[in-house]
Amino acid sequence: MEPITCERGKMTMKEKQLWLAVLVLVVSISACGDGTSGSVMGRHQSCSSGMGGGSCKGSYRKLSGTYSADIEMARAAFHSVKAEVSASVDSGPIRVYLVAPDGTEASATVRPGSPGMVAGEAEVFHDNFRVYFEALEGEARGVKYSVTYEYP
């Protein structure tokens, strides 16, 4: 293997290839990270859990794209949980959904003045599961949600 050398301000072809490989790896890892392609502002969530299940309440002042709320569990030896999510929004419609281990989704569309509820199976990742929120028209404001779940 030949040593990599460079003059001040110039990169060799091998260095360029190495940096490109590192960049591709970083982008790939971040794309697989949390399953979201959006963002939130003013996030708040509080949860409690026990041996049979748990609950969370949360809110987002502003939601753009698709964002997931990670719900931490007290027990982690499960592939899925049975979850129920209630949500409301002040402006902009949203879709709230759960993804089961087999990839199927249970979802509800929530609009201002018309709260929604979705119930279904949610896949567990290590010691948490995700509830997904998707802004259907660019962004949504005043998202509030509550989650209850039980272990199978």
Contact yes or no for 108/89 (Cβ under 8 A): no
CA atoms within 13 A on the CB side of 121: 10
Percent with pLDDT over 70 in the chain: 77
Contact yes or no for 44/58 (Cβ under 8 A): yes
How far, in Å, are 8, 112, 128, 134 from residue 94 at the CA level?
A: 52, 9, 23, 5
pTM for the model: 0.76
pLDDT of residue 30: 35
Per-residue pLDDT tens digits for 26-76: 333 333 334 568 999 999 999 999 889 999 999 999 999 999 999 999 877
Domains and their CATH numbers in the chain = 39-150 (2.60.120)
Tell me the pLDDT of the chain averaged across its residues: 85
